[in-house]
Every structure is written in C-alpha cells, then in structure tokens.
Structure 1
Amino acid sequence: MTQSPVVKSVNARLAEELAVREAQVAATVRLLDDGATVPFIARYRKEITGSLDDGQLRTLEERLGYLRELDARRTAVIASIEEQGKLTGELRTALLTADTKSRVEDIYLPYKPKRRTKAQIAREAGLEPLADRLLADPTLIPEDTAGDFLNDDVADAAAALEGARHILIERAAEDAELVGATRTKFWADGSLRTSPASADVAKTPAAQKFRDYFEFSEPFEKMPSHRVLAVMRGEKEGVLALNLEGGDDDVYHAMVARTLGIDLSAAAPATPWLATTVKLAWRVKLMVSAAVDSRIRLKQRAELDAVAVFAKNLKDLLLAAPAGTRTTLGLDPGFRTGVKVAVVDATGKVVDHCAIFPHQPQQKWDQSKAVLGALIARHDIDLIAIGNGTASRETDALASELIADIKATGTKAPVKAMVSEAGASVYSASAYAAHELPTLDVTIRGAVSIARRLQDPLAELVKIEPKSIGVGQYQHDVTPGTLARSLAAVVEDAVNAVGVDLNTASVPLLARVSGVTDSLAEAIVAHRESTGPFRNRKALLKVPRLGPKAFEQCAGFLRINDGDDPLDRSGVHPESYPVVRRILDRSGITLAELIGDERALRSLRPSEFADDRFGIPTVTDILAELEKPGRDPRPAFSTATFAAGVEKVADLTAGMVLEGVVTNVAAFGAFVDVGVHQDGLVHVSAMSDRYVSDPHEVVKSGQVVKVKVLEVDVDRQRIGLTLRLNDSPQQRGGQGGNGGRPAPKVKGEKTPPHRTNNSGRREPTPSAGSMAQALRDAGFGR
C-alpha cells in the first residue's frame, strides 16, 4: 500500500520560506484574516507575531495569497481527474507535492479537457498500437507495419505514420517530468537574441533609441531587468524582433528520446522515423513551451525588479524631508503661457494666485519680479517652490535675482527650492483637485500642488496615482495590477510610518491610514467640517460607520495636536493608555513632566510595566514615543543650489563639479537633476570606489548630491556623471570634445582606482571611455 505523502500546511510552508516559527505565521495569518492591516500588525501586535517587521509581513501576506490559490487550484485539479476516473495514488502524490502553480498545470495537462487534437483523432482511428509497436521494436519497417492499420479513416501508410507520430509527439509534450526538465535546461542554457524587425524599420528615426539592440544577445539568467523591459518595448513598438534560444538542440533531442524510450543510435529501420518524431516533438511542442515559459519568467523577473526599484524610489520620495508649515510661493514655470503663481499659507490653504510672463515672448521680467516681490511682502513668504519642468532654470534665475534684491535691502529673504513636477498635471486635472480647488483654473492648481509638495511631499503626493509620480524604471511596461498592489503597500506603509494629523489631513491622505477606507475618509472630513476639530481620539467613534474595529486599526496612526490628551499626539495606541497611567502612578509624576524627559524615561525598565496583554516590545515602544511624541521619521529639510549660468546641456563641460538632486534610482544607476532640463546618469559603476550591487545602497530619490560631469553628448542629450569627484572626464560628440575617444591622460594623473567586487577580487573602475558603453548598456535614453 502506497503511503500518503506528508503535505506541509500553508503556515508551515510560509514559516520555512520566511525562516520564522510556524506559531508566528499562524498568529499573523489569524490577524490578517480578521481584517488587520500590515502597518497595524507591525506596530501594535509585536507580542503576537514575535516582532515580525513590515517587510516580513508584506512578504507573508503576498505569499499567503499565492499558496492559498495554489491549494485551491490543486484541489480543483484533483477533483477533475477523479471525475474522469483516472486519479491514481501516484498522480495524487505528484499533485499534493507540487510546489508551484505551473507544476500543477504540467501534471494536469494530459487530463485537462481540451478540443480534439490530431493525436486524439489518430487514437480514435486506432493508430496508438502502431505508435507503440514502432517504439517497442525499431527493427520493424514503418511503412510495412503501417499497412496493418489502414481503415476507412486512414487512407494509406503515410497517413497512418503521421497519425502515430502525432500521438508520440503529444505523449512527449504532456509528460510533466520532461516538460519540467526541458524548461529548466532551456532557462539555464538559453539566451535572448534581438535584431531589427526589418531593414527598413531599422532606418527610421523612431528606431534609433533601440539601435544598441540591433545586434544583441545575452543569457536569460544574466540579463538585467531594465534590458529585458527595453527590448520587449522595442518589440511592442515594432522595431525589434526577439528570438529565444535554448542552446544545443541535440541535448534536448536526447531528453525526448530517453522519455519515449527511443535509442537514437540504433541502426534499425524505424530509427530515422523515430528520430524525426523526436526532433518534431522538441521543435514543434516542447521548445515552444520552454520558450514561452522562459519569456514569461524573464518578464515576471524584470517586472518584480522594476516594481522593487519603483517601490524603493517611491518610498524615498514620500518620506523626503518636508519644509514644514511655512508660507510658500509655488511657481509652475512656462514660456508662452507664462509662469503660474500660487501662495499657500502654513496649512496649505490657497491665499493668492496669479500668472506672470517674465520669459519669451512677452519678456516682462521687471514687472514679473515686482509682482512676486509684492506677494512675498504681503504674505510674509518663507519659501519659494519652483517646478522643474520647462522654463524652470529661467524662472529659478528670476527668483534668485529677486532674493538678491530683497537681501540687499536688509530684509529676510525666502529660501527657494526646485521641486519635481512629476504627476502635477495629473493631479491638476483630477476629480479630487476639482473638488478641493473648484474655483481655480487647472493651470493654477499645478502651482498649488508644487508649493504643497515642498511643505509636505507625503501629504500632497498621496493625491496622485503612484505610477504617475515618475520615479520608476520602465513602470509603464509592467503589468498594472502587479505595480498597483506593490505601490499601494508602499504608500500605506509610508503614511502610517509618519502618522497623520487628524484635523488637517485630506481625504486621500486619510484613506491611506490603516483601517480607513475612501468612504470612511470622506465621513471623517465631513464630520470634522460640521462639528469642528477633533479634541480627542475617542471622538472618532462618533463618525458615522466608523466602528470599534476601524478605530482599533486607525487610532494609533492619527495625531491630534493641542487636544485634550497629550497622548493623542503620539504614536501610543489608545488601548495602551492604561500602561502609561501605570507608569505615571509608579513614577509619582505627571504626564506633562514625563513626556520628553529622556533621562527619566530611559531609567524605567519595560519589564516592570509589562503584563499578559502588553509585553516588553509594546512597553519599549511606548517609552520611546514618550521621549519624542509624534516625532517625524523623515530627514531634515535641505535644498540643492544649481550652478549659475548652467541652464542647458550645451552649457555643461566635462570636469564640472555640480550640485544636484537625485530624481530617480534604477537598477543600473541614478538620475540626477543638475538644472539643465535633462537628468544626467550616474552609472552604478561610478557611484563609489567600492563595488556597488544596488544603487540604493548609495543614494535615494530626493537626496542632494555633488557630482562631476564625465561626458556630454549634446546631440543625443545625454549626460554622464560620477559621484567620485576624482574621476577623469571626457567630452563626447556635438559640442566640441574628442569624438568619443578616451580623454588623453594628463601628466601626473593617477591610474583609475580599483574597486572590490562581491567575491573579493579587485577590478578596475571603468574609465570615462568605457562609461559611454556603460550608459548604452544601461539603456540610457531618457
């Protein structure tokens, strides 16, 4: 009797994957099934989960969904095969131990209801015994043997042999072990080769951005995600032809022959016919299947990498330093249509707006400066936020001149900063913007958004669909659902990490708080507008449809400044207030005296206040919160200063050292805005003297950095930068330079430094000459 396989439960599999105890997984799964969110579990249920962090929890949540879908599909497949009366013990075991959806489908393939195939028609015509006979005895002459199987449905020997071949080909194509083995080998040994879709297409201007891929090949396993998505975009646009190759066909022929029981070396009459069958089984069925599988794996891996890059950049951008509650002048630059101007007060409320026309064709420079000067004086403006789009440097020059004039009078001048416009137009035309700013023109709404982004990037960016923010790597080539789920999680984690002011937060911001839906967010704002500001967290329970469960999930992340209870402005959850009272009773001091007293708080032992419900992790978090209640985890605000007179790519020269802002981080490097309307690229190889596997180890979106210009290609609008300020530059194409040849070595110049790779070997850092190729390899063509 065959022993039933020991099938691991979903919880056991998750515990093994995450390298944690099964009890931790089981507890977390119960919380998730009960409607708890990841931020809530990570922050307020540490005792239950064993202090799993938000990254582990996100992975657990994602894998839980996959494994449950796998189990559901496995159950359905077993039931289907059982209904057909074909479920054997061995087959059940194979299905129960299958660890992926694709493995389940491979096993199910021979039993899956399908339209009549050529092999099925051949079986119905009685040709399966012919196939088996030729397999069993290759000494038979195929044509002679086939004569025994002629009937009304089989006209001649050729037709009989063709039908028998279809049966054998299908048999090979539906063998789960063979399918799995050929897919694995195809992926391990295979490569992607690209070429122009046609000679005519290759000559078109649209095809030039893909010309580095006209003759290109790379192994599947080594091909980075950005190149996969780049060539797939080229294929989608009709520029490139993609060919997936699996290596030596003879190896696959041997695998097919072994599965079917064919000796390809036998000198027998039926061997040529059997050999042709093997080749067709590989070429027509198995190779196609393996190629499709490899293509899917390439795309999925590339998408996962692209989503991970986007998620990291989005998190950095959302958690960028806020300028704070300061009156801000927002400028949305433009030439012909003018510069749109909006003034927002410390709370983000619009208090003034207009348009000025300092640039061509109107050239009202002095008049524009006077208008801005009057606004600054009237509203006591602290900050000037300038959008980084068209005419941004010209507008920045206007602001610089105005600030210099103000300082010359001995008056305190505002601080200016360049702000990313990415997604601002999406917000301006959105339904929410129309509801929030109904009396303002769409163009002015953009200036308002730019000003608010400087005050609080997180609060403003949550109003925009994440994929429109523009900090991704080929995000438009990623499956929308995959991208949306990941980015939604990033936004949720960022919002809850910072906390939300309950009395000022917008509907989009509130809707990202743990446990708060869009409708609940609207209800909270409506209640706030009708009854006035919330005085305490308990008042949330008076909001229609906000019950105890939603209150449990959201209360700890909502802050009330200057409310009835000082704890309401902290990250201490209301359910834990009794712990604070217990601390106060034992300490013999008031809450006002304890809050912020670092010495007193650090002298307390968390174990003395822990109980069955609130353990040491929670008490430790409470004491940390009381040290700095409502602290903002984001960094201090700082701005970059762009070089005067450097306003376009042609103004750049190799060797310049500039200050800039990281706008995007990709797998191959980081894009930096140095104030010339075209971001430059710091390739990953130019980020440090040590080996860098992930650019996020060195920089993040929004970071102010100093870079050296390595090379400039004015014709192609490409800028090569380095974070290593001792690197040797070169000039490329267009604007002077040396036509792309390596820069001549200066007398006394040091040999480029070495860096150490992951295996500990020293390898030379790329020179400026090789940087051009690095840029092309990176798919640099923004």
Structure 2
Amino acid sequence: MSNILKKLISEFSISQSAVEKTIDLFKNGSTVPFVARYRKEITEGMNDIQLRDFYDRWQYLEDFEHRQAFILNNLSEQKKLSSELHKAILESETKSQLEELYSPYKSSKVSKADIARQKGLAPLAELSWQQWDTFHPKNVQLWCSNNQLKISTEDAYSGVMDILCESLSLHIPLIAEIRKNLLDQGVIKSRVIRGKKEVGEKFQDYFDFSESIKRMSPHRMMALLRGKKENILRISISFDTEENIFPFFLLKDLAIIQLYESNQTITKLSAFKKEVLEKAWLEKILPKLESDILSELKNNAESKAIEVFANNLSDLLMAPPAGQKAILGVDPGFRNGVKIAAVTNKGLCSDHAVIYPHPPQNKIDQANKTLLQLIKNNNIELIAIGNGTASRETDLLIKKLIKENNLSCQSVIISEAGASVYSASAIASEEFPDLDVTIRGAISIARRLQDPLAELVKIEPQAIGVGQYQHDLKNSALIHALKAVVEDCVNRVGVNLNLASSSLLSFVSGLTPRLAENIVHHRNKEGAFRSRYDLKKVSGIGDKCFEQCAGFLRLPSSTYALDASGVHPESYALVENMAKSLRTSVDKLIENTPLITEVKQQRALFPEIDDYTFSDVLTELEKPGHDPRPKFTYATFRQDIHSMEDLKPEMVLEGTVTNVAAFGAFVDIGVHQDGLIHISQLSDRFVKDPRELVRVGQVVKVSVLEVDVKRKRISLKAFGL
C-alpha cells in the first residue's frame, strides 16, 4: 500500500476500498459535487466539504511525492545526499519541510566555505573544532607548514569560520532541535521603522509588539506582514532572551553536535566554540530559521484567511433569495445622480431612469414623479438600494414616497460590492449591449436581491469584498478555493435549465464555459428544453458529461415530474419501480408522505440499490427540488442615524453582517462604515469561532459600545445570538 493511500485512510477514517475507488472516480473525470451527491456508496457518505478536502489532500500528496522524488534524484546527482539528509527528506511531512531541506543545495553559486575547502582548510576546521580551545596563531602556522599550505593566519581563521558556520547551519539535527524550541519558546516581534510612525498610523498597534510564536493568531500575522510589505514594520523572531545571541541554554539538548565531552559542563565550553556558535547563529542559523518560520506562519495565516474568505463567500452566495419578484434596482449617488432599473420577475430590465434628488441638483419633485411612475408601471414589489454613497439619503426619499402614496412595496439596502465590476464586464455588455454601464449596475443590484447566487456568479469572487487581506494572498490559491466554493454552492442549490445564464451554467458539475454557452445557444435556437434527456442534443454533451451535470439541472416545466427534482436520471427506473410496487404513478408518489413511508417499509424489494441512494432518493421525493437556502429577511436601519457622528454608546440598532473574520464580525448599520462585533462581544459565553453564531448576510441586533470617528472604528455588542 502506498504512503498516499495510508495517509488518506488515516486522515479521513474511511476504508482502503473507499479511498481507491474515490480516487478512480476523480481520475475518470468525475467532479466533487457529483461524487458527493450521487456516489455516497463509494465514498462512505462523505459530504461535499469533506470530499473537497479529500480531493485537495490527494492532489497535495501526489505533488509532494513527485517533488520528493525530484529532490532526492537531484541531490544524488550532485553527490550531496548524505544518509542523514536522505532520511530527513523521506521523513518530511510537508512541502515546506522539503524545501527547507533542499534550499541550501539549490544554488550552484560557490560559497565562502567551498572556497575555503578548495584551499585545503577542511581538515584544519575539523581539528580546531574537535581539539582546540582557542585558534592560536602558532598552532595555525605550524599546521599550515606541516600541510604545505601557504596561507596567512587571518585567511586561515576566516576560512575555518566559514566552513564551521556552514557545517552548523546544514546540521539537520541541530537545526531541527533549535527550530522545535523556537516554535515552542520563541517570540515574534515587530517594531516601527524610524520615520514611519505618521504614514503608518493604521499599524500603531504593532509599533512595539511582541507575541509568543505558538500563540500568534493568523489575522495578527497577516496584519504584521502587510505592515512589513508597506515598509512600516520590521519583523524579527528570537528566543525571549537577549537578541542575536546563540541559545546556549539549549546545549543540554544539543549533545548531538558533539560540543563537549560527556563530563564537560556548559560553562567549560571553549571560547573558540562559543565564538563559532555565535557567528553561525547570527549569520546563518537565525536568518535561515527566521525566514523559514516566518514563511510557515505566513502560509498558515494565508490558508486561514482563504478559509475565512471562502466561508464568507459561501454564506453570501447561499443568502436567502427574495425570489421571482419585480424589483427596482437603485444605484445611489449625489452629483452623478441615482441610477434606477426596473427588473421583471424573470430578471429582465423593463425600464430605467436617472434621477437627481440630492445636492447639488436637488430635483426632488421630479425624482419622486419618476420613481412613482416606475414603481406603478412595473408593479414593483421590492426596491433594492445599493449601500454605497448616498444610500441612506436615497432610502429616506423612497421610504417617504412609499408612505405618502400608500404603496405596497418595501425598500431594502443591500451590498453593492462588485456591481460596478459586473457593469463593465463582457458578460454585462453581452446581456445589455444598449444600456449605459451605470444602469447595468442598478440591474445587478436588483437581480442580486432576487437571487444572490445566480447574479453573484457573474462577478469575480475577489471583487465581492467578503475577505480579509485578500490582496495579500496568493492569487492562485485564492482563486482555486473560491472557485470550489462557487461550484459547490451552485450544485447544492441546483439550476433551472431554461432560465440560467451561461455564467451560472458554467459552474454546474461537468459543464465548462464553452458547454454552458452551447446550452444557451441551443435553447435560444430550438426553444426551451422539455426533458433532461434533451441535453444530449447539445453540441459537446456526451454520456459522461450528461452523467455529471443532469442531476443538478432542474426543469420545472417538464412533463416528467422527476426532471424538476434532484433525482438523477440514472435513478428514474428506481423511482418508477417504487411507484409500481405501490400501484401508483411517479407523479402521485412525489410529495406524498404516506406513500413514501410505505416505500421505506418495503426496502427489501430493492436489494440492488445501496442504502445511501435509497435514502437520498426518498428524501428528494419528499421535497423535490428543495432550495437549501434560508427564508428571505432584511435589516431595517434607524431613520435618525445616517453617519458615525450620529452614533452614541448604548444605542440599539439593526444591521446586516457583511464580513466574518477570526476575531469577530463586521456589521453594516447604515452609516457607510461597518462596525465590528469583537468575538468577545458576540455572546456571554465563550465563542471559539464567530461563524458558530453569525454568517454573512445575517440580520443581527447590536448595541453601540464605542465610536472612534478619527480612526473610523465602531465597536458593537450583539444581542440574542
């Protein structure tokens, strides 16, 4: 059994057969959503999140083994693969450990130690380390004379130091021991760079900062790294003792480097060896370990930041949809006006306008007239107002209009993050080639209230603004994680085959952007799909593609009821047999709890079907095409609060969670600056992870704790979570 199989079996607590068969599914082109939903009997019930972790881990281990083999081969060819190094490489668990071991041998550049060895000083270095208490000139001159080396005492000393320092820095047990103790006892420190206090004011919490490495939180690490990147902070790592001094207190544990005889004490360590150790520490060991540990902390912090971003994106995409309602999308503004678009319950733009109710134009009467006309002519049920500039002023205007005219619609302030990105995109140009960019933004705001998932998939996830430190993260890793989130959300909800855009279809299991476009083209040319099996008429969709995508595509208008459900076509025969066993039809079996209960009691009639599939099919028959997203709600902002200056301690407000980080949740309370509920203020009980209580898009009630207008900080406390 390979190491990869052993690790996957151990880490995911599933059988060898499940691991092997799951990997085979992926190798044969199956997607994570498909395997998670329709092959549970193979994966032993892993859900989409677990299976995504399994897939990523499998890929990581495959890459790790390839890299490990390459490094071993390369070092062997260089004739630098000692038995100690070979053992350490084989025992490595991560890519970073591999690279740390390999890094000293990557460069073909000749080192100072190499030059010293070429001069014949290697035996002198060994002799001085093993036998000498001091590097005495007479001893050196005598040795050089006996070995016929014409070299000065100063050059010999310098060469010996270079050799010993490099040897110590490459001594695997030594470095491993110091590294282990640094991680356990070390501290990370940051200091402000001289002359940077004013320009780096936002980093003032880290101007004189010190924290234990093992207690360092990922979000603090990201803040430090950003301060370093902006040339505001200087970061260092050391033991919590005098800096830049070799940790002699560890010598009891470092007998492995043969620093002293068994009966020798640390205090008897020769002055020469102390000098070598301090030089090696300062010039080689500490810089290397500092770089390696900072890199590890950075990688861990980035992984956590990506995880936070991915979780927030998932919550945003899975936010409750208002549904197929006629909505007025409003993109507020002052000087350039308020852009308005009426969107039908099918997501089409039926009318649009620009009004100027705010300064400097102040055309309030004309704006009200236009708004009223749009609302009545388009039977508007909800009004979606973007939360950018002039949003509160626009919300007040519209609420007053609704009240004075006794209108049945309601206004909601929602996030407009990414709307401008969509409006200038190729997708928007294709959808609305004759409309101005600003009107497209208003349409996007309206449609994201109708169905956040369907609209937000058209925008690059990075532009949606639900991540912390996203611009400091590895772009490839971030894109990979966010694409996986979008894919999982789309397939969890399912897609209406006859209404979905090519953008939405492209995230369906098994479909590529080209195939999604082919589906839309076929739909436009041949008319609406009448059956899931009509998909096979689309160019490029063969049996394998159909297998992967069909179960996630819904056809509410199909004459065959199962086409509107999450039952996969491969299980249609099973459902028909279930209905036949009860002497009824498939149509009458769907959503019929008594009949479905009877089928459960007749489990023995279907021995060829595994328990996972049997249970999933019955669950789907009970609630065919069930949308897993919660019921639609929205926050109501206080009408007397418009800016940070209006806020006072102990005020009670309602708001919408816009972002969740490891240290708390950010909440839009309608003042153009999100407030922070620190993790300690989320509940009266201990909270380990804010997502235990809050998610992006959730409506929460908060009270104001503190307002810092100068630093634009609002501290909040949550109620009732």
TM range (shorter): over 0.9
Number of the residue aligned with 2:168:
172
Matching of residues 548-697 of structure 1 within 5 Å: 548-605=543-600, 607-608=603-604, 610-612=606-608, 614-697=609-692
Give the corresponding residue for 1:75: 69
Offset, 1:77: 2.5
- Give the match for residue 213 of structure 1: 206
* 1:387 is the counterpart of 2:386: yes
Summarize the Cα distance change of 1:473–1:87 in structure 2 as closer, same or farther, 3 Å threshold. Answer: closer
Q: 2:116 aligned with 1:122, yes or no?
A: yes
1:448: Cα distance to partner?
A: 0.4
Measure how far apart 1:91 and its partner are: 5.6
2:98 corresponds in structure 1 to 104
SS at match of 1:700: coil
Give SS of 1:603's match. helix
Number of corresponding residues: 712
Q: Secondary structure at the match of 1:426?
A: helix
Provide the rounded CA distance (Å) in 2 between the counterparts of 1:266 and 1:646: 72
Per the TM alignment, residue 222 of structure 1 is displaced from its structure 2 partner at its CA by: 1.4
Deviation at 1:710, TM superposition (A): 1.6
The question of whether the paired residues in 1 share the 8 Å contact of 2:246 and 2:281 is answered with no
Query: Deviation per CA, 1:22-80, whole angstroms, max 9, x where unpaired?
Result: 22221211111111111111100001111111222111111111111121122122323
Aligned partner letter, 1:158: E
**Is the CA contact 2:177–2:254 (under 8 Å) kept in the aligned structure 1?**
no
Deviates more, 1:351-360 or 1:711-720: 711-720
Question: Of 22, 29, 32, which residue of structure 2 is paired with 1:28?
Answer: 22
User: Distance in 2 between the 1:179 and 1:61 partners?
Assistant: 33
User: Percent identity of the aligned residues?
Assistant: 45
Deviations 1:284-320 (A, max 9, x none): 1111111011111211111111111111111111000
- Are the structure 2 counterparts of residues 707 and 104 from structure 1 closer, same or farther at C-alpha, using a change threshold of 3 Å? closer
Match of 2:238 in 1: 245
Single out whichever of 233-242 and 536-545 deviates more from structure 2. 233-242
CA–CA separation in structure 1 for the residues paired with 2:229 and 2:603: 61
Deviation at 1:122, TM superposition (A): 1.2
> Which residue of structure 2 aligns with residue 4 of structure 1?
none
Are the counterparts in 2 of residues 70 and 100 from structure 1 also a CA contact under 8 Å? Answer: yes
Residue 259 of structure 2: aligned partner:
262
**Deviation (angstroms), 1:502:** 0.8
Bigger drift between 276-285 and 716-725 goes to: 716-725
| Partner Cα distance (1:141, 1:684) in 2 | 59
Residue in structure 2 matched with residue 766 of structure 1 by the alignment:
none
Please say if residues 531 and 563 of structure 2, whose CA atoms lie closer than 8 Å, have aligned partners that are also in contact: yes
Q: Counterpart of 2:599 in 1: which secondary structure?
A: coil
Aligned partners of 1:153 and 1:53: how far apart in 2?
71
Tell me: CA distance 1:492–1:260, structure 2 relative to 1, closer, same or farther (3 Å).
same
How far did 1:713 drift?
A: 2.3
What is the rounded CA distance, in whole Å, between the counterparts of 1:633 and 1:438 in structure 2?
34
Deviations 1:314-344 (A, max 9, x none): 1111000000001110000000001000011
| 1:140 CA drift (Å) | 7.3
1:345-494 equivalence runs, <5 A: 345-407=344-406, 413-494=408-489
Shift of 1:102: 3.6
The change in CA–CA distance for 1:657 and 1:87 in structure 2 (over 3 A counts) is closer
Query: Which residue of 1 is the match for residue 526 of structure 2?
Result: 531
Give the Cα separation in 2 of the matches to 1:335 and 1:96: 64
In the alignment, what sits opposite 2:289? 290
Q: CA deviation at 1:250?
A: 4.4
Q: Is the 8 A contact 2:174 2:254 kept in 1?
A: no
1:541 and 2:541 equivalent? no
Which residue does 1:195 correspond to in 2?
A: 191
1:733-764 superposed Cα distances (whole Å, 9 cap, x missing partner): xxxxxxxxxxxxxxxxxxxxxxxxxxxxxxxx
Q: Structure 2 length as normaliser, TM-score?
A: 0.94
**C-alpha distance in 1 between matches for 2:157 and 2:311:** 59
- Do 2:134 and 2:271's aligned partners in 1 also have CA atoms closer than 8 Å? no
Conservation of the 8 A alpha-carbon contact between 1:503 and 1:560: yes
Q: Spell out, residue by residue over 1:138-160, the C-alpha distance to the aligned partner (whole angstroms, 9 max, x if none).
A: 25754233222268975312211
Is there any run of 5+ residues in structure 1 with no aligned partner, and where? 1-6, 727-782
What is the Cα-based RMSD across aligned positions, in Å? Answer: 2.3
- Residue 505 of structure 1 corresponds to 500
Q: 1:182 to 1:396 in 2, by over 3 A?
A: same
Match of 1:519 among 502, 505, 514: 514
2:343 matched to which residue of 1?
344
Partner Cα distance (1:587, 1:185) in 2: 69
The one-letter code of the counterpart of 2:222 is L
Kept in 2, the 8 Å contact 1:252–1:282? The answer is: no
CA deviation vs aligned residue, 1:471-497 (integer Å, no higher than 9, x gap) = 111112111112111111111111000
Q: For 1:654 and 1:91, locate their aligned partners in 2 and report how far apart those are by CA, in whole Å.
A: 62
Q: 8 Å contact 1:670–1:681 — kept in the other structure?
A: yes
Name the residue aligned to 1:131: 125
Give, in angstroms, the shift of residue 83 of structure 1.
3.4
- 1:20 and 1:214 mapped to 2: Cα distance? 49
Distance 1:392 1:594 in 2: 49
Aligned-partner Cα distance in 2 for 1:673–1:524? 39
Number of the residue aligned with 1:11: 5
Shift of residue 506, structure 1, vs aligned partner: 0.9
In structure 1, what is the Cα distance between the partners aligned to 2:138 and 2:58? 58
CA contact (8 A) 2:318 2:452 kept: yes
d(CA) in 2 for partners of 1:258, 1:162? 26
Could you tell me which residue of structure 1 aligns to residue 158 of structure 2?
162
CA distance in 2, matches of 1:68, 1:506: 36
- Cα distance, 1:258 vs structure 2: 3.5
Contact 1:333 1:386 in 2 (8 A): yes
Query: Structure 1: how far apart are the matches of 2:669 and 2:208?
Result: 33
Q: Give me the whole-angstrom Cα distance separating, in 1, the residues matched to 2:527 and 2:466.
A: 38
Question: What is the match of residue 330 of structure 1?
Answer: 329
Question: Counterparts of 2:134 and 2:688 in 1: how far apart (Å)?
Answer: 60
The amino acid across from 1:127 in the alignment is L
Residue 618 of structure 1 and its aligned partner are, at CA, apart by: 0.7
Rounded to whole Å, the distance in 2 between the matches of 1:209 and 1:91 is 45
Amino acid at match of 2:479: A
Kindly state the Cα deviation for residue 602 of structure 1 after the two structures are TM-superposed. Answer: 2.5
Matched, 1:303 2:297: no
Q: TM-score, normalised by structure 1?
A: 0.87
Q: Deviations over 1:235-290 (max 9, x none)?
A: 22222222222334443575597444223967999932222111111221111111
Secondary structure of the 1:451 match is: helix
Where does residue 780 of structure 1 map in the other structure? none
User: For 1:89 and 1:610, how far apart are their aligned partners in 2?
Assistant: 59
* C-alpha distance in 1 between matches for 2:135 and 2:650: 78
2: CA distance, partners of 1:172 / 1:664: 47
How far off its partner does 1:108 sit? Answer: 4.5
Could you say what secondary structure the match of 2:200 adopts?
helix
The Cα of 1:673 is off from its aligned counterpart by: 1.1
Report the equivalent of 2:314: 315
CA distance change for structure 1 residues 716 and 38 in 2, over 3 Å: closer, same or farther?
same
